[in-house]
Chain A
């Protein structure tokens, strides 16, 4: 199980199985901390708070615990994704009332990528309804993998270069034709080189592309 505060460039999913709700600040920092990368914390928190469920009457103890929890999340710039008052748990017994216990928090880096949060999916048979969080595709395109030039197959390159010839330069070139000639020639050469170099992996232990 990875610690969520470890900076990482790659997407990471961390699961916590907490039987007791952590309320101490040092324990809360395991879930919520200042992170530069998108981070989503969701789960059955068993917490009632006026921000999530404004119609729910709370005992003083419930209010103190949940407020401490919510304050800790807001201090590190996490936002509640739930639509206030939209229930996520419908108990099977008739004594208990429905509640908003399944909460989702997103940090600032993730907020710009969120599209919607709703409970429109069909029931799974559990007393908790499935919550659907839709993310927008990020506008930032990840750079394509670059060639690992240190692993360039020089023998193969040598054989390929033996039969490689540069295109003849135009006899009376204009700036456009000379530019086009150079672009075609250099692209042919760089493509040849790139085809003999494996792509870089995100880290040495990653599988090849």
Chain B
């Protein structure tokens, strides 16, 4: 009896082991995550235990204040009027927008994924345009489409979880809204080229451009300058908290000034106005609170609006080149000496941010200078063969923009020649 029981349990254990081995041996990139979940289990969800917030409603309020700080109100909504020269929304535009949407994308408050809308559009192609065309024609985005779910996730590896900064929020929007936003994004993208809304050296958020383009342009410029026997230095800037800090009045003013179609500008104004969010975490209160966002995260049009907003940072500074990928900027300067490069970078920094480099953080400037001198010494020793980026991370939270009030985090990076 005992031996047969032992055999029985051994057979079960052996079957489990062989099944697990089979599963791992035939694992696909997608099933790897399933294997990880089986092996390590799901990490427990951390509840935001914030000091001074004793119940979920107060926790939600504190998180909302942290993630969506108050901003100046957008301009008031004008009277709705239809545009005469407005081209109606077609089912082909909806098809194109749906074809770019992933079925696995997490849906918003209505829990309807893209796959359902794809099926609906396939069955009756006239339905979605008839529902969304009046909104675009009257350049209006209804409040029900501006409600979003904010999933509060803890950032891994934090020493404590008693501050809002230990969490991040992933915004989920209604897929029906995102279809319309994608249609508008493609219209705006087409106008961006005509109206020169985006600098040619901005390599993000536009179809056909990527990080590879940014890297190639940077490499090309560095090598061109090297042929002229110039020393090259690059300063990398990163816009911190980009989307949330866009001021919608300034953005709308840029769009108007650049000659974007008035109906698009009005629709974008309506889209950015009066947004609501419901933060979801363990024990969260189920109500939508008004939030002041710059451009909403998770929207297909937001990256495009953001790069348009930042287009004014591509300034014409003598002997310098500014390349960017969405919120990452690289200011490259070239001159016969690194010492001059430092001065040029300081000038460029002043032009871009409106704040003198030395005033921002004198230690950063000194460190950069020392590093540069060191490179010159290495250069003189003629041991230099290959261009390589040496990232000297000098963290410094810098000044605010005069216009956009964006905080810039600077990392000084110098080219090291080995």
Chain A positions within 8 Å of B, measured between CB atoms, are: 7, 36, 139-141, 146-147, 149-150, 152, 154, 157-158, 161-162, 164, 166, 169, 173-175, 178-179, 181-183, 185-186, 189-190, 193
Select from chain A the residue with minimum beta-carbon distance to B137: A169
Instruction: For A175, give its contact among B41, B140, B145 (CB under 8 Å).
Output: B140
Q: Is the CB of B80 within 8 A of A174?
A: yes
Task: Pick the contact of B80: A150, A154, A178 (CB < 8 A).
Answer: A178
A178 touches B116 (CB 8 A): no
How far apart are B362's CB and chain A's nearest CB, in angstroms? 49
Kindly identify which residue among A164, A175, A186 contacts B124, using a CB–CB cutoff of 8 Å: A164
Residue-wise interface mask of B (152-180) relative to A, using a CB-CB cutoff of 8 A (1 in contact, 0 not): 00000000000000000000000010000
Residue B375 CB within 8 A of the other chain = no
Cβ-closest 9 pairs across A and B: A169-B134, A179-B142, A166-B130, A182-B142, A161-B124, A158-B123, A146-B111, A140-B283, A183-B144
Residue of A nearest to B286 (CB): A141
Question: Once the chains are docked, how many angstroms separate the CA of A147 from the CA of B358?
Answer: 59
* Separation of A152 and B120 alpha carbons in the complex (Å): 11
Contact between A193 and B120, CB atoms less than 8 A apart: yes
Given contacts A149-B115, A173-B134, 13 further A-B contacts (CB under 8 A): A149-B112, A154-B119, A157-B120, A157-B123, A164-B124, A175-B80, A178-B135, A179-B140, A179-B142, A183-B142, A189-B120, A189-B127, A189-B131
The winner among B44, B79, B142, B283 for most chain A CB atoms within 10 A is B142
Closest residue of A by beta carbon distance from B140:
A178
Q: Is the CB of B44 within 8 A of A7?
A: yes
Given known contacts A140-B283, A149-B116, A161-B120, A182 and B131 CB-to-CB distance under 8 angstroms = yes
CA distance A189 to B120 in the complex (A): 10
Binary flags per residue of B113-137, CB closer than 8 Å to A gives 1, else 0:
1011001100110010011001100
Determine whether the beta carbon of B144 is less than 8 Å from that of A179: yes
A190–B223 Cα gap in the complex (Å)?
57
Q: Which label, helix, strand, loop or mixed, suits the secondary structure of the A interface? A: helix
Instruction: Count B interface residues, CB 8 Å.
Output: 32
Report the minimal beta-carbon distance from A28 to chain B, rounded to whole angstroms: 21
Docked CA distance A140–B59 (Å) = 14
- Count of inter-chain pairs, beta carbons less than 8 A: 74
Q: Are B112 and A193 in contact (CB under 8 A)?
A: yes
B138 is an interface residue with CB less than 8 A from chain A: yes
Query: B113 contacts A149, CB within 8 Å?
Result: yes
- A164 near B140 with CB under 8 A, answer no
When C-beta atoms are compared, the residue in chain A nearest to B176 turns out to be A186
Q: Which residues of chain B are within 8 angstroms of A36 by Cβ–Cβ distance?
A: 44-45
**In the complex, which residues of chain B have a beta carbon less than 8 angstroms from the beta carbon of A193?**
112, 116, 120
Decide if A181 touches B113 in the complex (CB within 8 Å): no
* Chain A residues in 8 Å Cβ range of B112: 149, 190, 193
- In whole Å, how far is A77's beta carbon from the nearest beta carbon of chain B? 14
Q: Does B75 contact A (CB under 8 A)?
A: no
Closest chain-B Cβ to A170's Cβ sits at a distance in Å of 9
Q: In chain B, residues 21-69, which have Cβ atoms closer than 8 Å to a Cβ of chain A?
A: 41-42, 44-45, 56
Task: Specify which chain B residues have a CB less than 8 angstroms from the CB of A141 in the assembled complex.
Answer: 286
Decide if B134 touches A178 in the complex (CB within 8 Å).
yes
Cα–Cα, bound, A162→B127 (Å): 10
Q: Does B336 make an interface contact (CB < 8 A)?
A: no
When distances are taken between beta carbons in the complex, the residues of chain A under 8 Å from B241 are none
Distance in angstroms from A45 CB to nearest chain B CB is 29
Query: Are the C-beta atoms of A152 and B127 separated by less than 8 Å?
Result: no
B77 within 8 A of A: yes
CB pair B143 A190 closer than 8 Å: no
Closest A residue to B57 by CB, please name it.
Answer: A139
User: Please, how many angstroms separate the alpha-carbon atoms of A166 and B89 in the complex?
Assistant: 15
Q: How far is the CA of A164 from the CA of B111 in the complex (A)?
A: 22
Q: Return the chain B residue nearest A138 by Cβ.
A: B283
Instruction: Name the A residues within 8 Å of B138 (CB-CB).
Output: 173, 178
Question: What chain B residues lie within 8 Å of A181 (beta carbons)?
Answer: 134
CB-CB contacts of B80-92 with A at 8 A, as 1s and 0s? 1000000000000
Complex formed: what's the CA distance from A166 to B283 in Å? 38
